[in-house]
Amino acid sequence: MTALRTLAAAHFRSHRLARLETDGRSVALFGPNGAGKTNLLEAVSLLSPGRGLRRAEADALPRRPEALGWRVSARLSAPDGPREVETGADAPGQPRAVRIDGKTVPQARLASLLRIVWLTPAMDRLWTEGAAERRRFIDRAAMGFEPEHADRALAYEKAMRERNRLLRDDVRDPRWFDALEARMATEGAAIARARAQTVAALAAAQEAAETAFPAAALALEGDPDAALAEALAAGLAPEAAEAEAEARLRAALAEGRSRDVAAGRTLTGPHRTDLAAVYAAKGAPARLCSTGEQKALLISLTLATARALTARAGTPPLLLLDEVAAHLDETRRAALYAEIRALGAQAWMTGTEAHLFDSLGDEALRVAVTEGPEGSTLSPA
Ligand SMILES: Nc1ncnc2c1ncn2[C@@H]1O[C@H](COP(=O)(O)OP(=O)(O)OP(=O)(O)O)[C@@H](O)[C@H]1O
């Protein structure tokens, strides 16, 4: 099992110096609004690549008013032994650095060290807001399965930005376009393939599970996704289907140049893909479901992601569940805790009331979070 044994957050958000020893158990953080509970979950989320569960700008993280550097460090127990991981910036505005076992490494390396799955109140709007959030949701899950997915997405975006610049500057050199589009097609087809495999893994994880939460049928909607699905349906092997999707994306990009010049940006590719979800038992699109149903679908998908990652990696991911327990009735809350137990995952959970975690017994370390003159204070109960 992979779990944080210690977590320390220094000069991070409302925490001046927070330190917690967990002995590997789940952690239930409770306390009043604004006490600093989510900040601590955000600190944990920064032990994965990217901007964390709030997608914060770098200058939001250092503790104010001092606004110096910040640091989050953890000791974790992993299947292959204990590891030390640390991230932070020495001064505001600096990109965060990552150290694993004392060595400075690229941020992307976090993806193969630690898998983290989170659910936050901001995600309640996942099905009703723009497609970018939904792509991010499926891409984060895909990254859990394939750490290289993060690098591919960056490489694709970089090539696309360069292509967009050519479009706007009205550069007509076809060789330049060819080279960038070849790169975009290679990365783009691999991105589509990884997303499709993630959707399939989530479907399988939902099918195999007995769960109190409703299943969501997911589908990817986009050009490379359709090309890949068609190639697979035609009986091509996975690699051949990916090659076919790559060839079609490359041709579509080349054909779309003059249209894209008019738009000033690239109008086809995996950056336009959307993720559709249907509340399976009702056949209703998630965006038309009630708030409570949407929340239940998200919990269901979060748990399915965790189950699928556990099956893949052999060890469960960390779960960060921000204000999830409060929205469930007692039966479903008990079901959530039972699923966390069955996964063997370390869950970091928040809630305003301590009693929300009563049925966890001593499976979770309870920590009161309060706001004091010196910043947020943690008191393990
Ligand atoms: N960079 C920062 N420096 C100091 N304080 C900060 C910083 N960023 C956020 N805060 C403070 O952190 C507090 C919010 O903490 P957090 O979101 O963790 O609360 P919470 O305990 O999860 O509350 P809720 O139950 O309302 O979700 C706010 O008071 C905010 O002003």
Q: For atom 29 of ligand 1, which residue has the closest CA?
A: 34
Contacts of 226 (CB under 8 A, 6+ apart): none
Listed residue (80, 81, 321, 56) closest to 72, CA to CA: 56
Note whether 1-115+317-381 and 130-290 share their fold. no
Percent of the chain with pLDDT strictly greater than 90: 92
Percent of the chain with pLDDT strictly greater than 70: 100
Q: Report residue 142's pLDDT band, with 50, 70 and 90 as the boundaries.
A: very high
* pLDDT at residue 282, rounded to an integer: 95
56 phi and psi, to 5 degrees? -75, 150
Q: Report residue 55's pLDDT band, with 50, 70 and 90 as the boundaries.
A: very high
pLDDT digits (tens, 9 = 90+) for 281-334: 999 999 999 999 999 999 999 999 999 999 999 999 999 999 999 989 999 999
State the average pLDDT over residues 45-57: 95
Burial of 373 (0-12, 13-18, 19+ CB in 10 A): exposed
Q: What is the mean pLDDT of the chain?
A: 96
Structure ipTM: 0.98
Interior angle at CA 77, CA 73 and CA 78, nearest 5? 110
108 has a pLDDT exceeding 80: yes
* pLDDT at residue 32, rounded to an integer: 97
CATH code of the domain made up of 1-115+317-381: 3.40.50.300
36 lines ligand 1 (CB under 6 A): yes
> Which sign does the torsion angle of CA 131, 137, 140, 144 carry?
negative
Residue 350 CA: nearest ligand 1 atom is 22
SS3 182: helix
d(CA 14, CA 240): 51
* pLDDT at residue 172, rounded to an integer: 87
Identify whether the C-beta of residue 327 lies closer than 8 Å to the C-beta of residue 356: no
CATH among 1.10.580.10, 1.20.1050.90, 3.20.20.150, 3.20.20.70 for 130-290: 1.20.1050.90
Total residue count of the chain as it appears in this document: 381
Per the omega criterion (within 30 degrees of 0), is the bond before 121 cis?
A: no
- Map out the domains of the chain as residue ranges: 1-115+317-381, 130-290
* Separation of CA 54 and ligand 1 centre (Å): 12
Q: For atom 12 of ligand 1, which residue has the closest CA?
A: 14
Tokens of 347: 């869950």
The residue whose two tokens read 């939001």 is 60
* pLDDT at residue 156, rounded to an integer: 98
* pLDDT at residue 66, rounded to an integer: 87
d(CA 180, CA 162): 8
* Separation of CA 224 and ligand 1 centre (Å): 41
Total Cβ atoms within 10 A of residue 271: 20
54 lines ligand 1 (CB under 6 A): no
